[in-house]
Structure 1
């Protein structure tokens, strides 16, 4: 019961925060107090906050569908390079001042790679991992999506320069309603929504892949790696 109450409180907070930001932006613009040169920047911020709100709602709905067995995950052939380039370009739209904060590191000399994945599930996993990377990233956050081809699979890693975690806590990160804390925390774990990583783990499994977490310790950033099968 305590976990449920903590979950409801955390979700409410996650929804109210971007909503308050959007409301404040609209009030400022409606009052005509925004210099013309700042309009595009504020619009980008408003879009970012609205996507954050939408993403929180989608995760709650996804969690319900997964628990109720009502979500189908169907793997198909996906061109990974084009998919990731489009994903990174989309994320950069909400970083007008620092588009370089997220980058795609594609291996030199390697062309397109086809993998077996559900496109929507793949996008959801990446959104969750990148959202966490920025949320718990350094100051300023630096996020990279690294691609490593293997014999029968491809590893896609989301790497950040953030708070990191104790290596022995990696599995706990995927437990619903929990999330890790970094350096300087009294406790290594605390309650939170914890839905993003648990959903991503289940989606990866249903696509026939796997999802892992690594860190060299608090203050040393994190690496979350999704491994999916190559489409031969």
Structure 2
């Protein structure tokens, strides 16, 4: 495994911190041995050395975290650059072909379809980056109305099937609604963004064949729980809590081969928390699929009816 310059610096910071802590401990022990009969130097020296050691440890932790954060930021820049450059290059190539060569009407229509798909991909990447910056700068969504999660989830499933050109049977929806009202208070656009990211992740990380189950149910009569389960590449247990961080991508070959910006699940968790809920992820390990979703506080039907009036 090749050690990058930044990782080499991180190892150097850790070693330097350990050495400095060792030196501080040695000085502390020496100070105690030399002044064990004098109370005043001991009373002043021991707290000072403890603060020194704590400062060195905190400084080392801070430096390591900064190095890791910069690594994730660089990975994000590379991923976004690739996500933007690839469709632009593709669209340019097809346009140059149409400009320089005479092609049949059938080929022309195929080129148009491909360019539209590439432009949709380009627009989705730009919107995701802009949305991440928007939701990250606010604590709570300002526009809050009653949102029927059953209807919204059905709409998102239909949109995903159309957007990713899927077989309708590849995504199945299991819902307790509309028999039991599943209503939350929130921003419909933000909630749609979160659901589309969940569905997009299932598609993205099921490279062979998509078999996704979308579950929408009521939990303890107070929470609306939406989850998307796939049979894709899975998530190592050690990374289940980290995948919701900004720019974070699981460092496995199967994941890194898949295109992405590391913002999708960050958006899901941020939107869920802004609506008083949270996101969750479950997986039995690599190659064994995953379940990712969010839960939101339920809005009582009586309250929702009053708001509509």
Q: TM-score range by the shorter chain?
A: 0.7 to 0.9
Q: Within the alignment, does 1:172 sit opposite 2:242 as a pair? A: yes
Deviation string 1:2-58 (CA, Å, 9 cap, x unpaired) is 44333211111112233344445656777534638x958973x55443332222112
More displaced stretch, 137-146 vs 94-103? 94-103
Structure 1, 69-78 or 199-208: larger mean CA deviation: 69-78
The question of whether the paired residues in 1 share the 8 Å contact of 2:249 and 2:255 is answered with no
Deviation at 1:215, TM superposition (A): 0.5
Matched residue count: 227
The answer to which structure has the higher strand fraction is 1
Distance 2:175 2:130 in 1: 33
Q: Is 2:169 the counterpart of 1:100?
A: yes
Corresponding residue for 2:192? 123
The 2-side partners of 1:32 and 1:179 are apart by 42
1:209 CA drift (Å): 1.1
More divergent stretch after superposition (109-118 vs 120-129): 109-118
> Deviation of residue 94 (structure 1)?
2.9
Q: Which residue number in structure 2 is paired with residue 35 of structure 1?
A: 106
Cα deviation, residue 229, structure 1? 1.5
Instruction: Say if 1:152 and 1:229, in contact at 8 Å, map to a contact too.
Output: yes
Q: Residues 98 and 65 of structure 1: is their aligned pair in 2 closer, same or farther, counting only changes over 3 Å?
A: same
Shift of 1:96: 4.4
Cα distance in 1 for partners of 2:166, 2:254 equals 34
Whether 1:87 aligns to 2:159 is no
Q: 1:195 aligns with which of 242, 263, 266?
A: 263
Q: Which has the larger radius of gyration?
A: 2
TM-score (structure 2 length as normaliser): 0.63
Q: Deviations over 1:127-163 (max 9, x none)?
A: 2111111111141222232112121111100111110
Whole-angstrom distance in 1 between the partners of 2:254 and 2:222? 42
Higher relative contact order (CA 8 A, sep 6+): 1
Corresponding position of 2:232: 162
Two-structure CA RMSD over aligned residues (Å): 3.3
TM-score by length of 1: 0.81
| Partner of residue 221 from structure 1, selected from 289, 298, 301 | 289
